[in-house]
Structure 1
Amino acid sequence: MRASFRLYADDPRRRRTKDAIVEAYLAEQDGIEHGGRCAIVTAGVPGAGKSTAIESRGLAGHGWRVLDADRIKDHLIGDGLGRGVYDDLLEMVLPDGRRLRPRELATLVHRESTEILDMARERCIRAGENIVIEGTFRWDGLGAQLLTELGGAGYTDLTIVDVEVTCDTALHRAQDRWWTGRIDPDNDLGGRFTPTSAITDLYPDGSTRSICARNARAAFEHPLSTVIESMTLFVDDYTTGTHVESTVTKHNGVVNYDSHTAP
């Protein structure tokens, strides 16, 4: 019952709070260019290294809008702290002798963060901004949804960046990221805790590659992809212990380059 969407389920004023968070979040980034109509979408489990993959390829830079649900979670956590709704939880002392840190409550604001990210994304797409949509691609319906939204708004270029690591690697990185933030006295919110199931559920039946890879590929091959003039699928696969890169591109729905078959 402490999840934020439940706490405010019957509060008509909550929409104003969500609108305010959208405004505050979008205001964090300046110099955003309008009318470029290019989009980048990430795929891969938490901690896979998706942002690093974008940076290493030089895919986005000044003028691009980055849409990140984790930053929106910080806003929601801040809202909860201001209202005092989690005061008792933050008094809890864990076995390491430290109190619970605010970002360790991130799962309680997950649903609202998704709703607010959708609101922000719709607004940015209407403005034709160049956007980076950071996420896992865990939902198999996301591809069709994004193709519909982007194509309907006249976007001409879509790049999907999928980064694949083993489940053990993802779990280790998530724990390290959480613990580093938890013990940092200068980090007011602490480390972001990712439940183990949020990672292991993305590897059904002990598979080596995540369902994120499957969904990313399905989006690239979706019949609706014809609404986007140019599409690219980059895959960085680290699951074999070495880095294996692959690239596939298509123009008006027709594949015109595949690194697997290229000479």
Structure 2
Amino acid sequence: MVLSAEKLTHIPRHVAIIMDGNGRWAKKRLLPRIAGHKQGMENVRTITKAASAAGVEVLTLYAFSTENWKRPEKEVSYLMSLPVTFFNKFVPELIEQNVRVMIMGNTDQLPASTQKACRDAVADTAHCTGMVLNFALNYGGRDEILRATRQLAAKAVAGDIQADAISEQDFDAALMTAPLGDLADPDLLIRTSGEERISNFLLWQLAYSEMVFTDRLWPDFTPDDLQAAFEDYAARDRRFGGIKK
């Protein structure tokens, strides 16, 4: 199924997804965990196309967290190979869909082949003007906030800014989502697999995001499930701390 903006009354401009449940998907089928990650990668393609067709402007996917290095070495090695495989296979389709790739996270800590695949995907899609497909890769929300704090502190020490004058806008500009401008904060967060936590993801940016938690494992998450999340989102009353008249 391909979603259409005409089917919904209110499409979230920025959707963030914690793609959870690949390992459990594989375990249910008596398969190795990497089989779940492979299927999850295939589903990134499906959901990206569905979100783009629906009119989403930014789709941010939590691909690899700063804590995921704690997993077994073989699994981490496979996860590091996925961006290479994904971009080699699907960049032509992304270009056809007018989707632009963005990467945020500490990519300098990734294997050289993974870094190159990311750089090439960003460069190859830089001319695209449609949806931004933003991968959070080796990303952690606390790490991002610490880096932004250090950056602003250094500017204050250098005399470029006054510490007591630092604003939310200054902090926004120091975060990894700054290139997204007014789309930096997700309107909707979706987490699959039944877990109900944000797991160190976009801690600053999720302050007023609507959240949808689903029991569906990520490899089984379909465009129909995405539409259901959008319908849930459209029915909510977003007041941002105020009162609507």
Q: TM-score over 0.5 for the alignment?
A: no
Larger RCO (CA within 8 A; separation ≥ 6): 2
Higher helix share: 2
